[in-house]
Amino acid sequence: MDIIQSVKKEQEKGSKFGLERTKELLSRLGNPDKKLKIIHVAGTNGKGSVCAYLTGILRARGAAVGTFTSPEVYSFEEQFCINGRPASRDLTEDYFNIVSLASHGMADKPSSFEVQTCAALAMFAGEGLEYCVLECGLGGLEDATNAVSQKEIAVITSISLEHTAVLGSTIADICRHKGGIIRNCPAVVPANLCAEAAQYFAGLGVVVAGGDLKILRRSARGQTFWCGGKKYFIRMHGDEQAYNAAAAIKCAEILGIPRSAAKKGLRRTRFAGRVEVIKSRGVRYILDGSHNPQSFGPLVSAVKAVRGQKTLVFSCLSDKDVSAAAGILSPLFGRVLIAPAPGYRAMDADKICAAFCKCGKDVQKFEDIPSAMSAAGGGTVVVCGTFTILKEARNWIEQRR
């Protein structure tokens, strides 16, 4: 088993919380985090989008930037991007081997995610990059990414109840964990936070982005919005994405990046697995990693704009609110096809079927995602519920082209 497969296998053991292991491992690696200008991003939804926007803006300014995000969508290496492109397999293996050697002898063995975090930071510093856009894994306060010693800026994208067994059962609990990334640095939040979260972060003196935001035009290509006295265009749908972009714009302003670079960077930004449209053999496929009720907004907007036959291929992980997801998605589709997601965290397919049946849908269950894709037929086929099913769906589409 190669080093990457070994690290992925370790994921099945779950997460560890606390910063000491990651701090020790970074120290053993020569503190690569101190060689980078780090932009740290936390939140319930929108983290990946804000990371992509920030990367695009920094690249438009001409900066060398590394981006660490999770989970993977289509390849493991895409979690470790250098100047907007996934690191090569060889380079990724090299840095995982370096981290593995550094971890030998640690009394408390680091988790898979802690190893990945350190490998990303070591890679970006070792390859001479200037910036690191760093996405939190879970929460923020005790997440491995929060072990970095210094930050240029912190961003909190959105707040809603998630992972309550770990983070707490109230909005204030969630805010405390997400806000834990704000340490000796300016912080930005979007203006569309819920009232309780907005009040919490106001007490921390954060900068609010998008207070004057206004959507000017929506189309199949994306949307144009007004923010801070300027017009911007993004390729993503939904008001939430405009606010995510506003947060990135405000970060750019704080970092002294010209608005011209912000506009260019946003316009160029594309997303893997986020309302991603693929047309093949007369069928429109929409692949989206949205996985909780608050994240479905952009997808719902895109699906409502589509006419004709619409079929949903859905699965999710065991810790998700499938009843809420079924309530939001069911009215949009004529058919619902369910299959289990790959991996140990998958929710039982019968449980998913029951949730959609309660919404009055004619539900069909399949043994796997390729089988569901084969039965989906024509028109528009939407695949969503978890990032973990998108790779199988896309592979099925590509094989038929």
* 244-282 pLDDT per residue, tens: 999 999 999 999 999 999 999 999 998 888 889 899 999
Contact 183, 161 (CB under 8 A): no
pLDDT on residue 274: 86
Say how far apart CA 261 and CA 267 lie, in whole Å: 10
pLDDT on residue 15: 81
pLDDT on residue 198: 97
Does position 162 have pLDDT exceeding 80, yes or no?
no
**What is the reported pTM?**
0.90
Q: Mean pLDDT over all residues of the chain?
A: 94
What are the residue ranges spanned by the domains of the chain? 3-268, 276-400
pLDDT on residue 344: 83
CATH hierarchy code of domain 276-400: 3.90.190.20
Contact 159, 43 (CB under 8 A): yes
CA 63 to chain centre: 22
Q: What does the buried/exposed string (b/e) look like for 19-56 if buried means 16 or more CB atoms within 10 Å of the residue's CB?
A: bebbbbbbebbebbbebbbbbbbbbbbbbbbbbbbbbb
pLDDT on residue 37: 98
Confidence at 220, pLDDT banded by 50, 70, 90: confident
Give kind and range of the element (H or E) at residue 56.
helix 47-61
pLDDT on residue 237: 85
In this predicted model, what pLDDT tens digit does every residue of 92-148 receive, in sequence order?
999 999 999 999 999 999 999 999 999 999 999 999 999 999 999 988 999 999 999
Segments in 146-294 forming alpha helices (H)? 164-167, 171-178, 195-202, 239-254, 259-268
**8-state DSSP, 179:** G
pLDDT on residue 33: 98
pLDDT on residue 92: 97
Confidence at 384, pLDDT banded by 50, 70, 90: very high
At the topology level, CATH places domain 3-268 in UDP-N-acetylmuramoyl-L-alanine:D-glutamate ligase (3.40.1190)
Q: Are strands 230-234 and 222-227 parallel, antiparallel or unpaired?
A: antiparallel
